[in-house]
Amino acid sequence: MNQIDLAGQIAVVTGGAQGIGFAIAQRLLASGASVSLWDLDAQRLEKAREELGASASTVKVDVTEYGGVAAATAEVEATFGCIDILVHSAGIAGRNAPLDEYDLEEWHRVIEVDLNGAFYVNRAVLQGMKARNYGRTVNIASIAGKEGNPNAPAYARGQSRSHWHDQGSR
Ligand SMILES: NC(=O)c1ccc[n+]([C@@H]2O[C@H](COP(=O)([O-])OP(=O)(O)OC[C@H]3O[C@@H](n4cnc5c(N)ncnc54)[C@H](O)[C@@H]3O)[C@@H](O)[C@H]2O)c1
């Protein structure tokens, strides 16, 4: 298995209670990082923490609430001193329907999580990274955001947000 040395680094993984986020958390931990899992689902968070062991901690966060995201950022920075790595994986697909029939509430729900949530998490965490002149962020998006998926107008718009960002060097 390829492994890079992340000993001493503090990572936040949103959507880390399951799926891609959980798998990334496993790899970060295997590389020596400490990982804070942020997720909406408290039960799955607890299960994930038990499975991942002592270097994993959890914060229940809804990425659509900027106040909660800012508070989680402050909590991790106060506990560990910094956030070196952000992996933003929280996301939802939403229901499928043709655009002209797409439910307005569902549209707003998907945009709120996939687009605004990505902005909120990156905005909050980036501030400390800039102040410390170091950070690495990875935003998990979808090919649907680039190519478009039939009957997924909200998901395709919300996921068109993939980028890498580096802040400084160590
Ligand atoms: N699975 C795939 O095939 C695939 C393909 C391309 C892109 N993606 C994208 O990758 C990301 C992760 O996908 P996954 O398959 O691991 O999904 P998943 O459903 O397995 O996990 C997503 C996690 O995000 C959490 N979450 C959802 N809304 C949240 C919110 N408002 N606040 C905090 N946490 C929230 C969920 O509780 C869940 O634990 C998503 O953005 C998804 O769209 C997935």
Residue 18 beta carbon below 6 angstroms from any ligand 1 atom:
yes
Q: Taking 90 as the threshold, does the pLDDT of residue 1 lie above it?
A: no
- pLDDT value for 161: 60
| Closest among 68, 71, 39 to 52, alpha carbons compared | 39
Give domain status of residue 5, yes or no.
no
For residues 69 and 65, give the distance between their C-alpha atoms in angstroms, rounded to a whole number. Answer: 6
Give domain status of residue 65, yes or no.
yes
Q: Whose CA is nearest to atom 12 of ligand 1?
A: 89
Summarize the confidence of residues 11-22 as an average pLDDT. 98
Alpha carbon separation from 104 to 63, 70, 100, 142 (Å, rounded):
20, 28, 10, 22
- pLDDT value for 3: 75
- Total structural domains within the chain: 1
Give domain status of residue 38, yes or no.
yes
pLDDT in tens, 55-93: 999 999 999 999 999 999 999 999 999 999 999 999 999
Summarize the confidence of residues 24-39 as an average pLDDT. 97
- pLDDT value for 170: 57
Q: Taking 50 as the threshold, does the pLDDT of residue 163 lie above it?
A: no
**Over the Cα atoms of the chain, what is R_g?**
16
- pLDDT value for 168: 58
Q: Taking 50 as the threshold, does the pLDDT of residue 164 lie above it?
A: no
Give domain status of residue 20, yes or no.
yes
Q: Separation of 156 CA from ligand 1 center, angstroms?
A: 14
Residue 86 beta carbon below 6 angstroms from any ligand 1 atom:
no
Give domain status of residue 26, yes or no.
yes
- pLDDT value for 160: 76
Q: 34 is in which domain, residue-wise?
A: 10-167
**120 part of the active site:** no
Kindly report the pTM of this predicted structure. Answer: 0.95
150: CATH: 3.40.50.720
Give domain status of residue 1, yes or no.
no
CB atoms within 10 A of CB 120: 24
